[in-house]
Amino acid sequence: MKFAVIVFPGSNCDVDMFHAIKDELGEEVDYVWHDTESLDSYDAILLPGGFSYGDYLRCGALARFSKVMGAVVKAAAVGKPVLGVCNGFQILLEAGLLPGALRRNKDLKFICGQVELVVESNNTIFTSGYEVGEVITIPVAHGEGNYYCDEKTLQELVDNEQIAFRYNEDFNGSLSNIAGITNKQGNVLGMMPHPERAVDTLLGSSDGLQLFQSILKTWRVSSHVVTS
């Protein structure tokens, strides 16, 4: 399986994402610069965290207009897995690939540390390796991770099982403790916590590795790849 890690000016979690795929998952991965116009040769697209374009104007608002985003939208439309983490989540929201918005944390402070997440759905490309209700430990590092949407959208997220992860407690003000959501098709996931920073127990948790393993397992099944 071949992964693309999209690199915008200001990305700073791209190396972590690259390491998670190459060294921990053991799959092929490339850094892909923001002015790339085609992602046809990749099986999965990863948008890492950081401060794309310095977070000027609004987080993700400028990155949304990068040339590569047309290719990201195309990849999502044909069913390829698209994962946006932290700033990558913000970019997916700005691009309209996911509903809602992210606001400043409720205490207006940057938050960095380990948090507990509850797996709300394992019926997605990204979460099939978890159990519903399972509590996992994943680090966060964000200043604008307070998820918000209107009541109608929230009900749709619930009805369509689009809420992938919730925080185990309210620490940043996110509506309904939402930490990660998918699109209706289930192939686009945006989340504020960093699974790529939880792929080895030396990092404090390996709970994030299952997310990437879930992507790989689903791809192998859908591609009819037989492994020993």
Residues carrying an active site annotation:
86, 194, 196
Give the DSSP H/E element, type plus range, for residue 47. Answer: strand 44-47
Q: What is the DSSP string of 152-165?
A: HHHHHHHHTT-EEE
- CA 211 to CA 12: how far, in whole Å? 21
Sign of the torsion angle spanned by Cα atoms 195, 198, 204, 206: positive
> Is the CB of residue 62 less than 8 Å from the CB of residue 52?
yes
For 113, other C-beta atoms within 10 Å of its C-beta total 9
> Is the CB of residue 66 less than 8 Å from the CB of residue 35?
yes
In sequence order, what are the beta bridge partners of 111?
Answer: 142
